[in-house]
Amino acid sequence: MTEIVRIERLKRTSMVSIHNGIAYVAGMCGNKGDSIEDQTRLCLQKVDKWLAEAGTDKSKILRAEVWISDQKHFDAMNIAWEEWVDPENQPSRAAGVCPPAAEGYDVEVIVTAAI
């Protein structure tokens, strides 16, 4: 049986779970009430932090899911995404509209990366 490593265990989630050389990073959000671009930038900074904790980086992201609260945020979210993403190693990405779990959050990013 292969070991599962969990980084920063919280009450309902682990910030990262690692199995078979793959890091699964929990959904990251920005600050409540900030602009969509600022929320996206902050959640991507958090993704970078947790990828580093797992021993990997954004160039090794295999898959990303981006959830926004409203379709009107799509272009602004993409501005921040395009500033951040490694242009030589763009992951497969899905983006969708989903109501936030808590009021004021407009974007959540979830990634899976090779180590």
pLDDT one-digit tens code per residue, 11-65: 999 999 999 999 999 999 999 999 999 999 999 999 999 999 999 999 999 999 9
Question: Domains in the chain: how many in total?
Answer: 1
Specify the 3-state DSSP secondary structure of 99: coil
Query: What range does the domain containing 89 cover?
Result: 4-114
Q: Say which CATH number the domain at 51 has.
A: 3.30.1330.40
Mean pLDDT over 87-95 rounds to 97
Contacts of 28-31 with CB under 8 Å at 24 or more apart are 28/108, 28/109, 28/110, 29/105, 29/107, 29/108, 30/105, 30/106, 30/107
- pTM for the model stands at 0.94
62-90 tens-digit pLDDT: 999 999 999 999 999 999 999 999 999 99
> Strands 14-19 and 92-97, how do they pair?
unpaired
